[in-house]
Copies of this chain bind each other. A is one copy, B any other.
Amino acid sequence: MKSYREELWFNIPSRRAFINITPNVEAALRKSGIREGIVLVNAMHITASVFINDDEHGLHHDYEVWLESLAPHEPIRKYRHNDTGEDNADAHLKRQVMGREVVVAITDGKLDFGPWEQIFYGEFDGRRKKRVLVKIIGE
């Protein structure tokens, strides 16, 4: 069994954003030399997500509006977590809806994807350096 590890770093200038990281994961896969196996891609921070969906900006707008309706950022004082001095309790909630990680099959040296699948980094509390882990195991 071979394994390969790489970190992707982000410093998103806004509080929230969706970034297509599929090319970064594909580049890591090429470097790994692994042809059969799986790749785990996970946010290493608990106010961010990694998820798979469509690279369509209208949809990303819909996610933003929808997540804000499910877990509003304000009022800040509504959340006990924010008593710690943070203002990011909503980000911890939004991340649960969108998920921490994806596991993708590797077949013949490629991400084994359907026609529209793309991997996104979902930032819900940006303006600081944060990381995504890419871990590949296989042969």
Please give the residue numbers on chain A whose beta carbons come within 8 Å of chain B beta carbons, in ascending order. Answer: 1, 3, 5, 36-38, 40, 42-46, 51-54, 56-59, 61-63, 66, 70-71, 79-84, 89, 92-93, 95-105, 107, 112-117, 131, 133, 135, 137-139
- State A37–B102 Cα separation when bound (angstroms): 16
The answer to whether A83 and B58 have CB atoms under 8 Å apart is yes
Q: A5-B105, A81-B59, A83-B58 are in contact. Are A97 and B100 (CB under 8 A)?
A: no
Partner of A81, one of B3, B58, B107: B58
Q: Output the least CB separation between A38 and chain B (Å).
A: 6
With a cutoff of 8 Å between Cβ atoms, the chain B residues found around residue A44 in the complex are 113-115, 117
The answer to whether B38 and A46 have CB atoms under 8 Å apart is no
